[in-house]
Amino acid sequence: MALLEVQGITKVFGHGHLEVRALDGVSLTVEAGELVALMGPSGSGKTTLLLCISLILEPTSGTVVFDGQTIYRDGATWLDVRRLRREKIGFVFQTANLIPFLTARENVLFPLTLVGTAPKVAAARVMELLEYMEISARADYLPALLSGGEQQRVAIARALANRPQLILADEPTASLDTARGKKVMALLKRIAREHRTAVVTVTHDPRMIEGFDVIYHLKDGRLENSPEST
């Protein structure tokens, strides 16, 4: 069974002559532990698709099935979507989006406090993740004192805090140079392989997806191809 099934998703903004069809009947599947890349020109619908998958942005029509459970169908949801995102989906963005007045440690701790993790358990989990990301030496630094690559590693650690089944990454290397970008993508690959976490990544740069399992190309809100294996 696929971890994620997206069936005929559409997203329309505006009405009448102002209508814009950002997604037009997109269907795809993602398996546990699979690395999936979404590629395409600006405005092709890549980020909109990520937002619709997570129901941050409600699709206009279509179906989203997560871990065997239908979570959205044609305007209706059947569960607490916020809880689903907190507990099962991790997000990594183009910029790290760390809370500027919290240290690296506190940023990673934040999602654990949202789900009520016991303090001792949460503290141990935070250090486990910072060590895994090779950033533990900077645990008590504020984001402004971290390099771009270090900030993005903290952001990935935060995304992993609640052991998500799926990570959605929107241009996670766009603000980094090539060397740092490849290190970030290597971390996402490692996470997928070692933890069976599915990773769906939006990118413009084909150099960043070496070793990915599947590549989809979007144009004008439609998939241009069947899944392309690397």
Q: What confidence tens digit (pLDDT) does each residue in 141-191 have?
A: 999 999 999 999 999 999 999 999 999 999 988 888 888 888 888 889 999
Q: Which of 49, 51, 45, 59 is nearest to 10 (CA)?
A: 59
pLDDT band at 197 (very low <50, low <70, confident <90, very high): very high
Q: What is the pLDDT of residues 202-211, one digit of tens each?
A: 998 888 888 8
Beta 198-202 vs 166-170: how paired, if at all? parallel
- Between CA 156 and CA 92 the distance in angstroms is 6
- Give the residue-averaged pLDDT of 126-138: 94
Cβ proximity of 49 and 39 under 8 Å: no
Q: What whole-number distance in Å separates Cα of residue 109 and Cα of residue 91?
A: 15
Q: What is the pLDDT of residues 25-72, one digit of tens each?
A: 999 999 999 999 999 988 899 999 999 999 999 999 999 999 999 999
User: Is the pLDDT reported for residue 228 higher than 70?
Assistant: no
pLDDT of 139 > 70? The answer is yes
Nearest to 57, CA basis, from 27, 111, 12: 12
**Residue 78: per-residue pLDDT:** 76
User: Tell me, which fold does domain 30-56+77-229 have in CATH?
Assistant: Rossmann fold (3.40.50)
Tell me, yes or no, if the pTM score tops 0.95. Answer: no
Is it the case that residue 82 has pLDDT exceeding 60? yes
Alpha-carbon gap, residue 141 to 154, rounded angstroms: 11
> How confident is the model at residue 177, as a pLDDT?
87
In whole numbers, what is the pLDDT of the chain averaged over residues?
91
